Amino acid sequence: MRLIERIIVFLSKDTLFQDTIQMEAERVQYYYDELKRYYLKTDSDWADKAKSYRTIAHRFYNEYTGLDGRLCDAMREFYKWNTQKEVSGLAFKLKDELNNIVHNNVEIDKKRLTLFYDALVRLIYVATKVMPDDATLDFIGYKPAGALADLNDQQKDAVLCPDRVIYVSAGPGTGKTHLLINKLLWYINVSNVKERIVALSFTNTAANELGDKFRKKAFETQLSKEYDFYNGTIHAFCFKMMKSYYAVNGREFNYIIIDDSDINDLADEIRVQLVNTYTADEIAECLRSYLKTKNPALRAAVSDIKKRYNIISIEDILNRFLEYLNEDDAFRLWISSQITTLVIDEAQDLNEMNYTIFSRLMEVIPNMKLFLVGDPKQNIFGFNGGSYENLNNFLSGVGEYSEKTLTNTYRCPQVVADYVNTFQFTDCPNPPLVSLSDVSGSVNLKVLHSPESEASFVLNKIRSQGNLRKSAVLCRNLRYLGIFINLLNFNHIPYKVFGGRKVVKPHVKIFNHFMRIIESDNRYSIKRIGQIFRVGVTEESFYKSDLGERVKEIKFRANNPDMNFADIAAAVVDLIDYQGGDEVTDDYAKLLEISKQYSSIEDYLLAFATDKDTFGDFYQKDYVECVTPVSGDFLTVTTIHSAKGLEWDNVFIMGMSDENFPNPYFARDLDKQGKRKYFNDSLKLMYVAATRTKEHLFLTYSEDNSYGYSQTPSRFLRTLKM
């Protein structure tokens, strides 16, 4: 089927676009032919092709994103209404690319051309489920691959397993994401009914990666069967399910999610109201989850303020969802029609409440398939309640299930695998890693005299490796890296730090408050903005002010289907009269860039409350910032927790003394349960840190600490064979 016919099929799905079908389709066909003609020209170099391409792009932009442009917006809005996020995102990507070419005078090369055309072709495919012709696929560089063609025997065994409940223990670098994607495709291809798949990840970053790779694989394998696919975190899933249920019943679920910064502000407010009867920490804990607070007076006060402001915490979401599952027959009946298959990533990091919800879903939806992937040896988020015990107890309660194991790592060289295979955990299984990497690699231990000499050694070694992006410096906490970060600044080495941030910056709070007001007239945010800008703190008085009138204008525009979240974000930044210096300006620019990833205010606010890595730049720093502009090449400096799921050629783990890792106080008396747990948790941190390595692992420590007292090497180094 030609591109023109495909577009006609797509547009004919709604009568709104009938009058423009033929005209718009012919226009797209023209630009398709023009782009392809110049792309394939053999008698011209890229400079000539780029010039021709720019001319075509300008004309395309004027017709499709100007006053008369309708096709891209029609596609985006039609499928936005149908909650198909990927279509909206692709359409925005296409439009954004055109904007870059026309307004920013970007350099045209093969990569940019392919990006542009790939967005158009995939947009049409997602909308119609009809694959482009072979010539089109060749043009954008896609080589359709058959399902299961690139799986090893362990992965294939897990994918082809027909059992209703499957748990896969997947070590680092064993192709966990690849496995998940192929299992999703397998579920869809073999099913006799329309699959409604929910895929849940521990973080938004992991969820987005899984979703993007799945959709690309679905395209490459020419998946044509109808299916519904949702991917996100468990909090996002529960929130959206409750909101959808309310919408089906003609009601609004207009709660606003609050993050930790909001909780701390509210705790202070309640503490004053209660005449200091309770501490701010006690109140904050109750705000996070009333279930953890036994005092009825405090629970009542917190419940009252949540109702008054119409707010909900992250933990409240899960509690409320479970209540619906337990108490609302209509909700149970409705949700049983929404899910056929549940896929869980990073199963080792989920807490007891998460598994309680999964257990209840299994009861409510008796035929629901369940596929879990995790690695107990990478359970490093125990402070959030995640543990192998939770996973094991859940599996024990589901009845029959199949367990598979992935041990073939494509990331770590054998020498790194040999080192971590010596780790002996007492609270989970210990299947050894087997390296399939063709890199010889190395594990290097370096003992230095002082923290200063340790920092100098690491910096000199990184410099000798060349490309900064290929290396990362890891540590248990950022405090230990202070000397190293100062040295980076002194030598003007560009770097980015990940981890260690806790408090949202004031100007970012302001941006978020405005978003909540636009979304739902949230009383708490109206009060905060009213106080900050010295206008009315009630809804009535706020909207009588000039600022309130301008907010009403944005709210009115936000209801226009032509206005996406990125447009709303830009309007809010224009509204805020800020004079905060370069940092504030840079942060707002970053917010505008990030806003392109989200289709609605709701999605943005939910992500902000749950994904501190993505929004890390918007938290107060507890470390010295880089003094050198970070663009292009830079070094990653990170805590081990923030390094989870990432990889680098060269990994440097600093501070490998027993005093720092794991800390001898907790390492003594290992027969005591609490200290044994701490030791296992510390060993898992070391396991995660070491297995980020694709080539060379460097372990360093200093004989003396910063105060001149002697240190001993970490017991985690005793099994190292040099």
Q: What Rg, from alpha-carbon coordinates, does the chain have?
A: 27
Q: What is the pLDDT of residues 195-228, one digit of tens each?
A: 999 999 988 888 888 888 888 888 777 777 888 8
Q: What is the mean pLDDT of residues 538-552?
A: 92
Q: How confident is the model at residue 137 (pLDDT cuts 50, 70, 90)?
A: low
**DSSP one-letter code for 426:** S
pLDDT at position 615 is: 85
Q: What is the pLDDT of residues 679-699, one digit of tens each?
A: 888 899 999 999 999 999 999
Residue in this structure with the two tokens 């910056």, named with its chain if needed:
505
Residue in this structure with the two tokens 């690319």, named with its chain if needed:
97
d(CA 244, CA 238): 10
Give pairs for 323-328: CB < 8 Å, separation 24+.
324/242, 324/245, 325/357, 325/360, 325/361, 325/364, 326/360
**pTM metric for this prediction:** 0.80
Residue 172 near residue 409, CB atoms below 8 Å: yes
pLDDT at position 6 is: 39
pLDDT at position 510 is: 93
Q: How confident is the model at residue 40 (pLDDT cuts 50, 70, 90)?
A: low
Inform me whether the pLDDT recorded for 461 exceeds 80.
Answer: yes
Q: How confident is the model at residue 89 (pLDDT cuts 50, 70, 90)?
A: low
DSSP for 621-680, written as a single string: -SSPPPSS---SS-EEEEEHHHHTT--EEEEEE---BTTTTT-HHHHS-TTSHHHHHHHH
Q: What is the pLDDT of residues 364-409, one digit of tens each?
A: 999 999 999 999 999 988 777 788 889 999 999 998 999 999 999 9
DSSP for 525-558, written as a single string: HHHHHHHHTTS-SSHHHHHHSHHHHHHHHHHHHH
